[in-house]
Amino acid sequence: MKNKPTNYLLQTINSNKEILILTAILVVAPFLFQNDFHYEIAIVAILNAMICIGLNLLMGYAGQVSLGHGAFAGLGAYISVILVSNYQFSPVFSIFLSIVLMSILGFIISKPILKLKGHYLAMATLGIGIIINIVLEVEEDLTGGTDGMSVDSFTFFGYELVDSLQWYILVAVLLVLFIYLFENLINSPFGRILKSIHDSQNAATSVGIDVSHYKSIVFVLSVVIATIAGSLYAFFSGFISPGEASFAHSIELVVMVVLGGLGRVYGAIFGAVILTVLPQFLTAFEEYETLIFGLIVVAVMIFMPKGISSLWDKIVEKKGTKNVTSN
C-alpha cells in the first residue's frame, strides 16, 4: 500500500488503459451473441451497469446509501414514456425533460433526507421508493396501473431503433462515455470532496466544503443516470410496469454495487454484469435457481468483502504492477 504515486496525470493514463479494455470487450462481445436473447441480456446488463455507476458515486464515494434507486429509474422511465405517448414529444426530448423533472425532484428529496445517516438514510430512501412504486400502481389513468403500459418505439434523431444490434451500440457507447466522465469526475477536486464526505464530514466542513450541497449534487447526478438508463430500458423493451420501480429492483441495484466493489470505478460494472447474467446461467437448476444464486452472493461477500473487483487488485499486486487501488 505504501508509496503508490497518485499523480493524477498518471492516473488518467492508467484509466485510459482500463477503458480501452472495456471498449474492446464491448466491441468483441456481439460476435459471441447467437440470438436476440443474448443481445437483450447484454443490453439489460449495460443499462444496469449505468445505474450502478451513478449509485456507486453516491454510495461508494460519497458514502450515502440509497434503497430507492430502482424507483427513481422507474419513475424517470415512466415520465419519459408518458411524455411520448400522451404529448407526442420525441423520445430523446422526453428523456431530456424527464431528466430535468427528476433532477428537481431529486434535489427536493435530497435536502431533507441526506441529513440522515446510515440506517435512517436507508429507511428514508426505502420509504420514498415505496411511495413512488405505489403512486405508479395507483395512477392507472397515466401509468396503466399494475398491468403496465406499452411503450412507443424509440426514434433517435429521426432514426428508428428496432434492431438489437443498434440498441446494443447505443447503450455500449453511452456506457463508455459515462465511465469516461465518471473517472474524470472521481479524480478531480470534486471527487476528492465526495471521498472526504465519506470519511469525515467534520473534516470536509472544516476546510470550507458545504457538505449538504455536495450530497445533493451527487444524489441528483445518480438520479439523472438512473433516469437515463431506466428510460432507455423502457423504450428498448417496449413495455413498462411498476415492477421496474419496485423495492426488489432497488435492492438488486444496491447488491450489484456492493458485490462488485463499493467505491471502485469498475466494481459497479462487474456487479451489474454478473448479477444480470448469472441468473440466466442458473436457470439450468430450475427450482433451485434462487437458492444457488443466493449462496453465490453470500459466498462472494464472505470471501471477498470488498467486492469482486478486489480480486483484480490481488492479481495486479501479484504481478507487481502499479497503482490501481486508488480508484
Partner 1 sequence: MLQVTNLTKKFGGVTAVDNLSFNVQKGTIHSIIGPNGAGKTTLVNMITGVYKVDSGTVFLDGADITNISTNKLVYRGICRTFQNLEICSNMTVLENVLLGFDKYMDKSIFKSSFRTKSIIEDEQRYTKRALHLLSLIGLEKFAYTKAQNLSYGILKKLEIIRALATSPELILLDEPVAGLNPKETAEVSQLIKTVVKDEVTIILIEHDMKMVMDISDYITVMNFGQKLASGTPQEIANNEDVIKAYLGSGYE
Residue 128's CB is within 10 A of a number of other CB atoms, namely 20
Tell me which residues in 25-44 interact with partner 1 (CB under 8 A).
Answer: none
256 near 271, Cβ under 8 Å? yes
Q: Per-residue DSSP letters for 16-32?
A: HHHHHHHHHHHHHHHHH
Does 320 bind partner 1 (CB under 8 A)? Our answer is no
In angstroms, what CA-CA distances link 302 with 151, 222, 307?
41, 28, 9
168 near 28, Cβ under 8 Å? no
Judged by CB under 8 A, the stretch of 20-28, 209-217, 264-272, 303-311 that binds partner 1 is 209-217
Binding test (CB under 8 A) with partner 1, winner from 13, 206, 302, 319: 206
Whole-number minimum distance, CB 163 to partner 1, in Å? 30
Does 106 bind partner 1 (CB under 8 A)? Our answer is no
Residue 202's CB is within 10 A of a number of other CB atoms, namely 9
Of 66, 205, 201, 84, the C-alpha closest to 151 is: 84
Instruction: Please identify which residue in the block is written with the cell numbers 469526475.
Output: 185
Q: For residue 38, how many C-alpha atoms fall within 13 Å in the half-sphere facing its CB?
A: 8
Judged by CB under 8 A, the stretch of 22-30, 208-216, 245-253, 301-309 that binds partner 1 is 208-216
Judged by CB under 8 A, the stretch of 51-59, 176-184, 239-247, 252-260 that binds partner 1 is 176-184
Binding test (CB under 8 A) with partner 1, winner from 53, 73, 221, 240: 221
Whole-number minimum distance, CB 107 to partner 1, in Å? 14
Residue 48's CB is within 10 A of a number of other CB atoms, namely 25
94 near 68, Cβ under 8 Å? no
Binding test (CB under 8 A) with partner 1, winner from 8, 120, 285, 288: 8
Q: Could you give the CA distance from residue 224 to residue 103 in angstroms, rounded to a whole number?
A: 6
**Binding-residue pattern over the window 182 to 201 for partner 1, x denoting contact by CB under 8 A:** x-xx-xxxxxxx-xx-xxx-
Nearer to partner 1, 77 or 197 (CB): 197
Does 262 bind partner 1 (CB under 8 A)? Our answer is no
Does 208 bind partner 1 (CB under 8 A)? Our answer is yes
Nearer to partner 1, 49 or 151 (CB): 49
223 near 57, Cβ under 8 Å? no
Number of chain residues interacting with partner 1 (CB under 8 A): 39
Nearer to partner 1, 53 or 161 (CB): 53
Binding test (CB under 8 A) with partner 1, winner from 26, 84, 95, 204: 204
Q: Which residues bind partner 1 (CB under 8 A)?
A: 1-9, 12, 181-182, 184-185, 187-193, 195-196, 198-200, 202-211, 217, 221, 326
